[in-house]
Amino acid sequence: MEMTDCPMTGSQTLMSRARQLASPVLAAVAFVSSLAFTAQAVAQNPGAMAIIPRPPQIAASSYILLDAVTGKVIVEENADVQLPPASLTKIMTAYIAEVEIDNGNMSLDDEVHISEKAWRTQGSKMFVDVNSNVRVEDLLRGIIIQSGNDASVAMAEHLAGSEDAFADMMNQHAQRLGMTNTFFMNASGLDTEERYNIMSARDLATLARATILEHPTHYALYSEKEFTYNGIRQPNRNTLLFRDRNIDGMKTGWTTAAGYCLVASGERDGMRLISVVMGTASEDARATESQKLMTYGFRYFETAKLYSAGDVLSTAKVWSGKENSVELGMTEDLVATIPRGQAGELQATLNIDETIRAPIEQGQVLGTVEVKLGEDTIYQGNVAAVQAVERAGLLKRLIDFLTMFFANLFS
């Protein structure tokens, strides 16, 4: 099977190329078609190819920057090293609460009883009263905005009966999300000899991405700049919310062992980025280093939507069917993270099954598409039948069989 790469250009239409390729003698030969950009993708990338500088130097023990939509990592350093996450742990505590709410197992208006253990928890506090009842929504704000250790323990006890049982839930969710360098011992991130959480920058980015994509209505809490409870007003510790209008989350952390840490997320020009820095030297440093990553990502990269799910890319010959051809389309949106100004350098390979016989179901996978930028593969996905094709009658099937037989005989 011979395959060639073709530039993705706006000048060549999909259908004209398809007519060249879908000839009746194309019985048992897979074909490769060039794919045209959508007009939107071309419009976003005018002019000469941009020059992408080296990533900035980041003063942190570990860091990562990725595109929240595509999951593409733009910059990373020591991203799989296991480190204490401090209060970044609370992103998982809040995430589990969000899962329970969206699954209908808990309501924002439910009241949570505050145990003596939760009330006595040291470190940053929401300042809940012992034996009081607090609404789940307030408790979430206490966890996310005020970084309350007391609120985190109270939520853990409410959802799992005890903080130890909740830690088991946290580890199960981490495993489900593919967070392979994470282990939780508590719900708050407090470091003690007995309860010492570990996470990696990549795992934190994975968790942040799940929070943003799976529970977007709850993510809005991360952008709130202050919260007052029990008459005590506390500002959000994420100072990037106050100095960069593109940033709308997420969470800070600090302990002696962890240093100053920050998971940040923001959106600009249709691109959402997530950055994680761990082990920086100060509160200002974690914000400064995070902003370096964000600025680099927004300035030199973009999230380009090349095709939408269902867009027709080409047509293919169908044998033994009531119809002689079938339209092939995307099974999902084709969205890619690319350097700005390099859309014209993309190359796509459309590889169709050698022989396509009816019956064909709508949505049946009939080939693949691969998009490359230079030597890097930036997308691989399936193409599928846009419509169903029923099996033909006996005479048509016999004619197609003989046509295929002689085509293969003399090829």
Please compute Rg for the chain using Cα positions.
Answer: 27
Q: Which of 33, 34, 62, 87 is catalytic?
A: 87
- Those residues with Cβ within 8 angstroms of residue 52's Cβ, 6 or more apart along the chain or in another chain: 300, 339, 340
Distance CA 300, CA 75 (A): 12
Nearest Cα neighbor of 60 from 290, 243, 295 is 290
CA atoms lying within 13 Å on the CB side of residue 341? 8
C-alpha span between 265 and 221 (Å, rounded)? 13
Q: DSSP readout, 142-155?
A: HHHTS--HHHHHHH
Distance CA 82, CA 89 (A): 13
Annotated active-site residue in 33, 34, 62, 90: 90
- Catalytic site residue 411? no
Under DSSP, is residue 262 helix (H, G, I), strand (E, B) or coil?
strand
Active site residue 320: no
Q: How many of the other CB atoms lie within 10 Å of CB of 200?
A: 23
User: Two tokens at 11?
Assistant: 């000048």
Establish whether 11 is a catalytic residue: no
Taking the alpha carbons of 91, 262, 225, 246 in that order, is the dihedral positive or negative? negative
Per the residue annotation, which of 124, 147, 275, 320 is the catalytic one? Answer: 147
Which are the catalytic amino acids?
A: 87, 90, 147
